[in-house]
Amino acid sequence: MAATAPADVRLLYFEDCPNWRIADARLKEALAEVGADPDAVLYEQVTTVERAEALGFRGSPTILIDGTDPFADPGVSAGLACRLYRTAGGAQPAPTVEQLRAVLAR
């Protein structure tokens, strides 16, 4: 169980990319595993490049934990596109539950 649950968990997404639904399911599972409320996730649809840049949206899905993207790769620009995540099993459309649990428990 996490010492302190994150105060703010946001899932940013681009509607034309279905990967955010996978991230949502994994995020809720990870939140439950660390003792946080899985229904506390806030959702924001990103519809413009300007909004993507303002939010640091590096593709759909982007997960912000207390305002920070724990999976951000330096040099990747913001934009309206599907995003892939590096995992032990190769590239996936969302972080694994294990990866999410690790960043939520910090």
Report pLDDT digits (tens) over 8-48: 999 999 989 999 999 999 999 999 999 999 999 999 999 99
pTM of the full predicted structure? 0.90
Whether residue 85 is contained in a domain is answered as yes
Please answer whether residues 83 and 77 qualify as being in contact, where contact means their C-beta atoms are separated by less than 8 angstroms: no
Whether residue 17 is contained in a domain is answered as yes
pLDDT in tens, 42-66: 999 999 999 999 998 999 999 999 9
Report the C-alpha gap between 36 and 15 in whole angstroms.
Answer: 26
Whether residue 54 is contained in a domain is answered as yes
| Residue type present at position 44 | E
Whether residue 49 is contained in a domain is answered as yes
Whether residue 14 is contained in a domain is answered as yes
List the CATH number of the domain containing 71.
3.40.30
85 lies in which domain range?
A: 9-104
Spell out a b/e string for 80-105, using b for 16 or more CB atoms within 10 Å of the CB, else e. Answer: beebebeeeeeebbbbebebbbebbb
Number of domains in the chain: 1
Whether residue 1 is contained in a domain is answered as no
